[in-house]
Structure 1
């Protein structure tokens, strides 16, 4: 399986970078993993709703340029479907069985994802109704993907 983590912005915090590196190393025995980051747009806190949409649109355009037609796209969005770890493991397994083994997970920036990106996504998943920093979300996503591979191989870790 080939997995791409496509995200807005670079990881700046040392602890988050260490977490990403650790799970990337662990996942290397289960899949091909690629990281693609697009620059985040400047978004001061006093933006109008229209300006927020413009920022998301510009980030969205950059994200969409990095996706090919044959990739299965999973957007991380608050209104997406929530899965247990076992359900996510089963879902990833099913994607592989049905020939959708080139999967892109998209993590948006501080304002979320543009509507065009959400429309391109084959599905949306949510980890929680809470909002998380995108740097931390990358670590959480990788941990759950790693857990999914361990579950699917009946290897200890997930309990």
Structure 2
């Protein structure tokens, strides 16, 4: 299976880049992993709702250009469905057995995902009702994908 993570914003701190590199290395045993970093929009501190919508729309357009038509798109969104680690493992296994060869996980910018991205998504996944920085969410997502692979194979790690 191929997994692509499309994310808005760059990793600035070395510790985030190191964590991503570690999980990317671990996941390379199980899948082809691609991480696509997109520039975030510069947003004024006190923007109007219309300005915020425009920022999300521009980021959304960049995201959608990187989601292939045949990919199964999973949007990370606070309003999505929450799954346990075991349920995520089962979800990914069912997709693979069901013929899905490419899953794209989408992490939006600081304002979230545009309505167009949410419409394109085949599934909305929530890790919590809380909001997390996109850098941290990227690490948490990769860790959970790695954990899912280990669970599916009954390999030690999942405790």
Scaled by the length of structure 1, what TM-score is found? 0.99
Between the aligned partners of 2:96 and 2:71, the Cα distance in structure 1 is 12
* CA RMSD between the two structures: 0.6
Question: Which position in structure 2 is the counterpart of 1:95?
Answer: 95
Secondary structure of 1:81's aligned partner: strand
Question: Which position in structure 2 is the counterpart of 1:123?
Answer: 123
Question: Which position in structure 1 is the counterpart of 2:77?
Answer: 77
Scaled by the length of structure 2, what TM-score is found? 0.99
1:14 Cα deviation after fit: 1.3
Between the aligned partners of 2:15 and 2:57, the Cα distance in structure 1 is 30
1:44 Cα deviation after fit: 2.2
1:15 Cα deviation after fit: 1.2
Secondary structure of 1:124's aligned partner: strand
Question: Which position in structure 2 is the counterpart of 1:153?
Answer: 153
Instruction: Say whether 1:132 aligns with 2:125.
Output: no
1:79 Cα deviation after fit: 0.3
Structure 2: 5+ residue stretches without partners: none
Between the aligned partners of 1:86 and 1:105, the Cα distance in structure 2 is 18
Number of aligned pairs? 159
Between the aligned partners of 2:76 and 2:101, the Cα distance in structure 1 is 18
Question: Structure 1 residue runs of 4+, over 6 Å off?
Answer: none
1:149 Cα deviation after fit: 0.1
Structure 1: 5+ residue stretches without partners: none
Secondary structure of 1:42's aligned partner: coil
